[in-house]
Homo-oligomer: A and B are copies of this chain.
Amino acid sequence: MTTYPTSLGTSTADEIRLLGQDLTEDLMGSVGFGELAFWLVAMRRPTPQETRVFEAVLVALADHGFTPTAIAARLTYLSAPDSLQGALAAGLLGGGSRFLGVTEDCGAFLHAVVSDLGDELPTDDAGWDAVALEAVRRTKEARRFVPGLGHPVHKQGDPRTPVLLRIAEEEGLRGPHLRLFEAVGRVHDQVLGKRLPLNGAGVCGAALADLGLPVEMLRGFALLARCAGLLGQLAEERRRPIGMDAYLSVDRNAVYVDPES
């Protein structure tokens, strides 16, 4: 007989258990939603300090306006208004490598470098700068991008970056990933020949990694945050629709091109 082990939800006729807790006695009304989301993945309850940083990240990532994913969700809702879940899913499916993956990529990049250091973490900025310089150099040599650098709009600096660093500092959670990320910000121009801002998606990845969350799941938190943002987009699409205009602005300006050309 195959059995299926789990530490998540189980229930009997009288009781519902989740994460080793009694759902109704221990969790409902006592645990915040962000706190629970952290717990569900990390298998430990975050401290209030961790929860504040974690929720600040989710708030930062929730909505960026008319992104491709928001437009895709609204167009899907236009076509299939009977299925809110379909419109939401369509929006989340854009959460891949390019627009929503930076958080995970940056967290994973920093985590790989920090893990290699083992217990010998630098104790000052100069030490972190040396580590960062080497990491950026190797990344460039491998012809890969350093994740978390640059932004199409916030060219002089992403306003989220200093704020999240401040919040992490306030909560005693400005750990090795954030310190390394700051060092990357200080030294990358020596290798890349140009100065780029540390972007918000990147600093979020660094902060999540400092919270000890598994780096393979970081994209998942960006998706959770975006889920709330997409609900806002879909609620607005109901109140003040733009999907039809967005569709027609493409369709009416279609130009036929000979397939041979």
Contact = CB atoms under 8 A, between A and B. Distances in A.
A187 to B, nearest CB: 24
Contact of A4 (B99, B246, B258): B246
A81 B66 contact: no
Most-contacted residue by chain B among A18, A56, A83, A154 (CB, 10 A): A83
A17 to B, nearest CB: 7
A142 interface: no
A46 interface: no
A33 B257 CA distance: 23
A159 B23 contact: yes
Interface in A221-241: 221, 223-225, 227-229, 231-236, 238, 240
Interface stretch (A57-65, A116-124, A175-183): A57-65
A90 B258 CA distance: 27
A13 interface: yes
A159 B65 contact: no
A24 interface: yes
A253 interface: yes
Contacts of A141: none
A10 interface: yes
Interface in A59-108: 59-60, 62-69, 71-72, 75-76, 78-90, 92-101
Given A24-B163, A217-B231, 20 more contacts: A3-B253, A13-B153, A14-B156, A20-B259, A23-B160, A29-B166, A32-B32, A41-B231, A65-B251, A67-B251, A68-B247, A69-B75, A78-B98, A82-B97, A83-B96, A86-B89, A90-B90, A217-B234, A246-B249, A246-B250
